[in-house]
Amino acid sequence: MGLHEDRCAAQSGVLFEARDGALQGVLAGESLISLGLMYSTGRTVEPDLVEAHKWFNIAAQRGFAEAVQLRAEVAREMSRSDIAQAQRKARDWLSVH
């Protein structure tokens, strides 16, 4: 395995660990916020403000005050339809978890 493949594998592991942590409730708030930060900054994943807003929204709904501010920052860069899509995705996720 080359350096690029090693890096990609390591980055994928971080994403799966963060998702796993969010799903299992292990440090749930921090894991949810980490997912939002990953998607908002494009760290280890393609930047996706809809996904970032979704994860910050879920963390905010679970009582993590830091997520409220992060969600607002991301929302300032999004269209109304993107925000609505992110809110639907958050509701869908919450209805299952």
pLDDT digits (tens, 9 = 90+) for 67-88: 999 999 999 999 999 999 999 9
Alpha-carbon distance of 96 to 33, in angstroms, equals 19
CA distances for 40 relative to 37, 90, 91, angstroms: 5, 15, 19
The more confident residue out of 10 and 55 is: 55
**In the chain, where the domains are located:** 3-96
- Give the pLDDT score at 66: 94
- Report the pLDDT averaged over residues 33-61: 96
The more confident residue out of 5 and 32 is: 32
Q: What is the largest CA-CA distance in the chain?
A: 44
- Give the pLDDT score at 5: 40
pTM greater than 0.85: no
Phi-psi region of 74 (alpha: psi -120 to 50; beta: other; left: phi over 0): alpha
- Give the pLDDT score at 24: 56
Quick one: tokens of 19? 């998702």
- The amino acid at residue 68 is V
Confidence tier at 52 by pLDDT (50, 70, 90): very high
Alpha-carbon distance of 18 to 87, in angstroms, equals 20
